[in-house]
Structure formats: C-alpha cells, structure tokens
Amino acid sequence: MELSRRRFAQVAGTAALAGGRLAGQQTPLTAQQVIDRVGNAGSADGIKAGDPASVVSGIAITAMATMDVLARAVRENANLVVTLEPAFFGSTDAPLTNDPVYTAKQEFIRQNGIVIWRFGNHWRARKPDPFASGLARTFAWTKYQIDDDPSRYELPAITIGALVDDVARRLNARAGIRVVGDAQTQVRRVTLLPGSTPLPAMLKALPECDAVIAGETREWESVEYAQDTVASGQKKGLIMIGRVVSEEPGMNLCAEWMKTLVPEVPVRAIPAGDPYWRPTV
C-alpha cells in the first residue's frame, strides 16, 4: 500500500517522461489512467461516481467532496475529484434511494462530467503520517518535532488559549474548534491526532504530553477522559478541531505528491473548510 522510495522514483520518473511525451502528442489522459498510475488500495477506495474513461482536464484534491467543493472544481476546470472521505454521506458511499439531496448531487456530477475517486486507504497508509505532517507544516511546527515523530512536538511555552487562537487562525476555522482545559494553562508538549481518534490513542497520548490536538473523538470516550484528567488537577488540554479540518493539510501534501505523478494536467487542493458557525451567546 505504501510506495517504496525506489518504486516512487521509478513511477515519478515514468510519469515525467510520459508527461513530456503526452504533452507533445496532445494525447488525452483518462481518469482510469490517472488511477492506474497513482495506484489504488483497499476496498473503500475506487471510483464512486462518473465515467473512468472521461478525459481529465484537471484534478482537485480534497478531504471531502462536498457540493461546494464540486462546484469550485467545475469553476477551476477540474473534472477528476480525489476525495479522502466518502462523497455520499456513508462509509461505503452506498446509494440513497429516493433521497433528493443524493439525487441532486448525482445529477450535478453527471451534468458536469465529474469523476469522483475516493483515495483514502492508500493515502492513510503512507509513512510518515501525512496528516500529522501536514498539520505541523500548517502550524509552522516542523522545527519542534520530537524524535522524528510527526505527531509529537515540543513548543515554546504557550497558554492553551493562545494556542487555540493560533490554530484557529492557521486553519481558517470558523467555529468548529472546541476545547477542554483552562485557557490559562501553560503547555509545551503537544500531540497531533488528526482524523478520527479511538480511545486507546488518547489514553496513550494525553499522559505523555500537555495537550492533544485531535480531529474527531467520541464525547463519552476521549472527551470524558480529558475532562476527568483536568478535574483531577492535572494541567492538560484537549483541542478538537474537527475531522475534515484536521485532514485537509494532509490532503495538501497529497496534491503536491500527485503533481509529480500526473504532470500532464493541473492538480490543486480544494479545502472543504469548517462546516460550522457559532451562535452569539
């Protein structure tokens, strides 16, 4: 599932040579040819909508292929949309019979000649973790990394409140961030757990650091554990930023990587963004 360095160099070199040859011959590149070149892995991955024989005008990389992302892709002349998460509201992208939202989304895809390719298992399997690495780069933390582990960082001392403000600004998060812990607590060691975090990962991470920045957890598992940790008198924090928001920096890295494999067409990252707004209290 993970390309070795040698295999990556071979594929990238072949892609570059093919890119020059195809550009000179004006040979069209189909969605299936892109997929075959990049590689597929896992039962959840694959084409979820559209015709694999469609000629690719551009590629849009996103954490979630929302209607807004699809519309922006059309405006930017990108008809192959590569998504990390499901496009149709469930883990298997199963059709929703007689649902007007599902039907309208499928019709928009058909009318605009879009191909949606789910590329989740393959990208999640890459090492080092591209999602933690992407977050760290977005936060400008790479120089603070501990022991070559892209999930662990030792920062200059900062309060949880100031850390949250900086995270929200760098992620352009509107309202989805939620925090457990005192805003005035000073933290240094921070662990990044993007995506969906199971309880065992939180049980391991929080005792070893001052704060965890996570994507998505169950409130009655990891959030409760963080609450009780703080209630016990420990100076800790949990910062929830949302699953898709936490994954988008990793998909920015995916776009950069895919450009090296498919140089014939434009490749760009299109963020789904923070879906929430916050009421005035």
Question: What is the full DSSP assignment across 48-65?
Answer: EES-TTSBPS-EEEESS-
What local confidence, expressed as pLDDT, does residue 159 receive? 98
Q: Is residue 258 part of a domain?
A: no
Q: Based on the fold, state whether residues 22 and 104 are members of the same structural domain.
A: yes
**What integer pLDDT is reported at residue 57 of this predicted model?**
97
Query: Please, what are the averages of pLDDT over each run of 10 residues along the chain (281 residues)?
Result: 44 45 64 91 85 97 98 98 96 93 98 97 93 98 96 98 97 94 98 96 97 96 97 98 97 97 97 92 74
Residues 111 and 174 in one domain: no
User: 250-276, pLDDT tens digit by residue?
Assistant: 999 999 999 999 999 999 999 999 999
* Together in a domain, 68 and 117: yes
- Residues 159 and 176 occupy one common structural domain: yes
My answer on whether 157 and 186 are in the same domain is yes
Q: What pTM value is reported for the model?
A: 0.88
Q: Is residue 259 part of a domain?
A: no
Asked, for residue 261, whether it belongs to a domain, the answer is: no
User: Peptide bond preceding 150: is omega within 30 degrees of 0, i.e. cis?
Assistant: no
Give per-residue pLDDT as tens, 199-213.
Answer: 999 999 999 999 999
Quick check: helix, strand or coil at residue 234? Answer: coil
The 3-state DSSP class for residue 175 equals coil
Task: Please report the pLDDT score of residue 42 as a whole number.
Answer: 64
Of 45, 196, 60, the C-alpha closest to 120 is: 45
76 and 169 share a domain?
no
Q: Which amino acid is at 259?
A: K
Domain extent at residue 220: 130-243
Q: Which residues contact 80 (CB under 8 A, 6 or more apart)?
A: 31, 34, 54, 56, 58, 59, 60, 114, 115, 117
Residue 272 in domain: no
226 assigned to some structural domain? yes
pLDDT of amino acid 13 = 47
Q: Quick one: 66 and 173 in the same domain? A: no
Q: Is residue 250 part of a domain?
A: no
- CATH code for position 161: 3.40.1390.30
Same domain, 118 and 229: no
Tell me what pLDDT residue 117 has: 97
What pLDDT is recorded for position 67? Answer: 98
Residue at 20 is within a domain: yes
Residue 273 in any domain: the answer is no
Q: Please check whether residues 147 and 189 belong to one and the same domain.
A: yes
Count of structural domains, the chain:
2
Residue 210 exposed, middle or buried by CB count within 10 Å (0-12, 13-18, 19+):
buried
> CB–CB of 63/124 below 8 Å?
no
